Amino acid sequence: MSQRKSLFGALLSMEIFTLGVYIMIFSLVYYHGWLSGVCLVFLAFGVCEAALGLSVLVSLVRSVGSDYVGGLVLGHF
């Protein structure tokens, strides 16, 4: 994933980062005893980001045939 050759690896690392931030926000809210919808809103944005990333991945694989972004020129997929 550190070589950033495939789009799937980049999307997976973004999801892991989102999950880590969600856990930190949830632990902060739980520790202070706040009843807030911040966790739910952040989780909804994370799901939307994952859905958009998956749609880009599917369109790239359908048009090019693989998810490797190293050989792509911007605007040709």
Mind listing the pLDDT tens digit for each residue in 28-67? 888 887 767 777 888 889 889 889 988 888 888 887 777 7
What residue ranges do the domains of the chain occupy? 7-64
Q: Rounded mean pLDDT of 18-26?
A: 88
pLDDT of residue 75: 53
* More confident call, 19 vs 2: 19
Contact 44, 22 (CB under 8 A): no
Contact 69, 6 (CB under 8 A): yes
pLDDT of residue 73: 56
pTM for this one? Answer: 0.69
Closest Cα partner for 20 from 46, 1, 50? Answer: 46
Answer yes or no: is pLDDT of 1 > 50.
no
CA distance linking residue 8 with residue 62, whole number of Å: 14
